[in-house]
Structure 1
Amino acid sequence: MFLNPKIVFSWLVFLLSFTSLFLSSWILLPAPNMSLLTLAVGAPEVSPWLLLLNLFSLLLSFLCIRRYRIRRLTSIFSSIGLLICAWVLANIPLTQMQMDKAMKQGLGTDYLEQIPVQVRAKMQTHPFNLVNFFGGIQLGKTRHQKDILFASPAVMPLKMEVYQPPQVGKYPAVVVIYGGAWQYGNPQANSEFNQYIAHQGYTVFAIDYRHAPKYQFPTQLDDVRTALNFIRKNAATYEADPERMVLIGRSAGAHLAMLAAYQPDAPPIRAVINYYGPVNLPEGYKTPPVPDPINTRAVLKAFLGGSLEELPNQYKIASPINYLTHPLPPTLLIYGSRDHLVEARFGRQMYERLHNSGNTAVFLQIPWAEHAFDAVFNGVSNQLALYNTERFLAWALFKK
């Protein structure tokens, strides 16, 4: 007995439509655990590809499936997936309009005019570009130095990577701190971002720090401060200007970047860029996200050495939101509305506290984005974030 090829093909199309809907659904569904978090992070960022996949399965259902029930179910699945993906793409212009408004509110309506023309000429001209999405963002040539030792605390070498523009010169310093729940990660992370920023005319330092739970707070902050001192002392060697320095961090790295920049005795820092970083650890412990795929309380216990009830003062000291008693560097905060590791409400809370205390701050929120949205470098969310990040950077470091 032989299977009818048309029936087999119909079921394959049905399977394709189900798969495309399943993948697309993670644009809306929160991940209940770390295993599924990758889908929730990645689905909105590759939504143009998923839209094409849904459209393809929809066309196949009409053109190739003769059985009414299978065709109807397949077309329903594909249509739902198509609508979900279209929601992301349709919201890009509105989201960028809101971001542009927030940038002007925070930095001044003429902030772009304060950036030299030759610096502006290097920037992305569009917040989102399908050519960059499908073909990749052009990184440009850079010089790259690896495994630069900056400290050996407790017989553990701490190293950094340096990315420099192709031409010899003197450039503003951008210090990048990776995330990873304070427990994992390395300076090789986000290398595409580092290369892109270096090509724009910055010396980028991607630094390391010791990890929890073996090393607990404030060890990580001490390591960041050690790295900053090393960079300032050796700035000339790496063609960096120590008086024009910005800190950029992601997640746990953003938390460390803010803490390092907000210390009363911090070296001169022109600005801080916070990608989805924790800012209020007591509140994060008391009200973790739902669902909570990373187990927020366990992460904070490992980082700080105990629970909020056991170490209330440590939680307070480790919270950037508690350092608003003196003028602080301008701060850019970028969060995803669907972040289930560090909720966007914390970023808004930080923004409001900074703004109300007279500090310069900008809060950008991406409606469809999860935590670590920029892991897909040419993805939808990162294109928007990168467009505004490079303008904030240029304003902070080159403004007239």
Structure 2
Amino acid sequence: MKNFFILFVFLPFLVGAQSTFPKDTSYTISNTYQKEIKKFPFISIAKTLHNENIKSEKQIVYQQTATRDLHLDSYLFQSKKKLPAIILLHGGGWKSGDKSQMENLATAIAVKEYNCFAIEYRLSPEAKYPAGYNDVKEAIAFIIKNAVRFNSDPNKIAILGCSSGGQMAALLGTTSPNEIQAIVDLDGILAFHHPESEEGKIAAEWLGGTYEENSKNWIAASALTHTNKNTPPILFVNSQWNRFHAGRDDMIRILNQNEIYSEIKTFEKSPHSFWFFNPWFEKTVTFTTQFLDKILKKE
């Protein structure tokens, strides 16, 4: 009876450990809209209509960590042939945001005959770098392993990220060229310690200290560090704010030296999180799918 009582008392805590972790909810579409509409009164939140050709499945477990499950959401275009897989990573300063913020973009891209996967990864309140990076690596491995289930071509994988997710996408693309064939970076930095960069406290929270305290992580987490002849083609879609593409021009010089294809699309007079809003949402989708068609659907 005593052992049973102890188990009864502690069971709720054991169960709760699976889903209870520090969560920062400061970065949401709604909050961002309320902030940006003061500067851009003509904007509206983009909405993607339901499409009968897209089959979605939410909360697919791709990894079990010591404390909880990690999930992804799939948005699959219904096709008889295997389609390229697009990995999507949300933004939020490596500390906030969630995969649901990628639903509109994932659906709009999937309609163009792609299979899209929005990935949950651990953020700085829960785990420091490289935990989130490793999580996405595991998600990609899971998708490749389950390529038949997802009707996806494991040899045609692209990664797309927004803001801090764009930084992650570029990093994963430059360090995993055998798995990733194309990168789409929506206003994500390419180098943390760089003359154009203004990253400070938020980056330090994710990287386990300031540059002076942990320069190794600041360098290792920068896609520019790893850019070489093996880097996949990359599309940069940027706002007007230079700080959000720190290191981009240096990266392009290396890409050009190695004859690697890249594109830059810039939205002048736009907010940083332009992908959430009209009038930039559709153009973002168009730029992205035209680039992906060129890289992943060429004969």
TM interval, shorter chain, is: 0.7 to 0.9
* Aligned 8 A contact 1:281 1:319 in 2: yes
What is the one-letter code of the residue matched to 2:228? T
* Aligned 8 A contact 1:336 1:369 in 2: yes
Number of the residue aligned with 2:276:
375
Secondary structure of the residue aligned to 1:201 is: coil
Match of 2:116 among 193, 204, 211: 204
Question: Structure 2: which 5+ runs fail to align?
Answer: 1-29
* Aligned 8 A contact 2:194 2:246 in 1: no
Match of 1:328 among 218, 222, 231: 231
* Aligned 8 A contact 1:351 1:362 in 2: no
Number of the residue aligned with 2:192:
281
Give the Cα separation in 2 of the matches to 1:385 and 1:348. 20
- Are 1:140 and 2:135 an aligned pair? no
Secondary structure of the residue aligned to 2:125 is: coil
Equivalent pairs, count: 269
Give the Cα separation in 2 of the matches to 1:387 and 1:364. 11
Match of 2:266 among 349, 361, 365: 365
Number of the residue aligned with 1:298:
201
What is the one-letter code of the residue matched to 1:267? N
Number of the residue aligned with 2:289:
390
- Alpha-carbon shift at residue 385 of structure 1 (Å): 2.0
* Aligned 8 A contact 1:45 1:373 in 2: no
* Aligned 8 A contact 1:351 1:363 in 2: no
More strand by share: 2
- Alpha-carbon shift at residue 337 of structure 1 (Å): 0.8
- Alpha-carbon shift at residue 367 of structure 1 (Å): 1.1
- Alpha-carbon shift at residue 43 of structure 1 (Å): 6.0
Number of the residue aligned with 1:90:
none
- Are 1:191 and 2:94 an aligned pair? no
Residues 349 and 47 of structure 1: CA distance in aligned 2, closer, same or farther (over 3 Å): farther
After the TM superposition, which residues 2-81 of structure 1 pair with which residues of structure 2 at under 5 Å, given as runs?
Answer: 38=33, 41-42=36-37, 47=42
Deviates more, 1:217-226 or 1:384-393: 384-393
Residues 266 and 327 of structure 1: CA distance in aligned 2, closer, same or farther (over 3 Å): closer
What is the one-letter code of the residue matched to 1:274? D
Residues 355 and 160 of structure 1: CA distance in aligned 2, closer, same or farther (over 3 Å): same
* Aligned 8 A contact 2:184 2:234 in 1: yes
- Are 1:399 and 2:298 an aligned pair? yes
After the TM superposition, which residues 227-242 of structure 1 pair with which residues of structure 2 at under 5 Å, given as runs?
Answer: 227-242=139-154
* Aligned 8 A contact 2:177 2:232 in 1: no
After the TM superposition, which residues 143-158 of structure 1 pair with which residues of structure 2 at under 5 Å, given as runs?
Answer: 143-158=55-70
Name the larger-Rg structure: 1
* Aligned 8 A contact 1:162 1:203 in 2: yes
Alignment deviations for residues 175-225 of structure 1 (CA, whole Å, 9 cap, x no partner): 111111111222211211111111211111111111103311111111111
Give the Cα separation in 1 of the matches to 2:48 and 2:119. 24
Number of the residue aligned with 1:172:
84
- Alpha-carbon shift at residue 37 of structure 1 (Å): 6.2
Question: Structure 1: which 5+ runs fail to align?
Answer: 1-34, 50-132, 289-295
What is the one-letter code of the residue matched to 1:396? I
Indicate the RMSD between aligned Cα atoms, in angstroms: 2.6
* Aligned 8 A contact 1:275 1:333 in 2: yes
After the TM superposition, which residues 309-348 of structure 1 pair with which residues of structure 2 at under 5 Å, given as runs?
Answer: 309-338=212-241, 342-344=243-245, 346-348=247-249
Residues 266 and 354 of structure 1: CA distance in aligned 2, closer, same or farther (over 3 Å): closer
Alignment deviations for residues 110-160 of structure 1 (CA, whole Å, 9 cap, x no partner): xxxxxxxxxxxxxxxxxxxxxxx99x6655321110110000112221000
Give the Cα separation in 2 of the matches to 1:270 and 1:384. 22
Residues 233 and 337 of structure 1: CA distance in aligned 2, closer, same or farther (over 3 Å): same
Secondary structure of the residue aligned to 1:283 is: coil
Residues 210 and 48 of structure 1: CA distance in aligned 2, closer, same or farther (over 3 Å): closer
Give the Cα separation in 2 of the matches to 1:393 and 1:315. 29
Number of the residue aligned with 1:93:
none
Could you state the TM-score of these two structures normalised by the residue count of structure 2?
0.81
Could you state the TM-score of these two structures normalised by the residue count of structure 1?
0.62
Give the Cα separation in 1 of the matches to 2:154 and 2:197. 39
More helix by share: 1
- Alpha-carbon shift at residue 38 of structure 1 (Å): 4.2
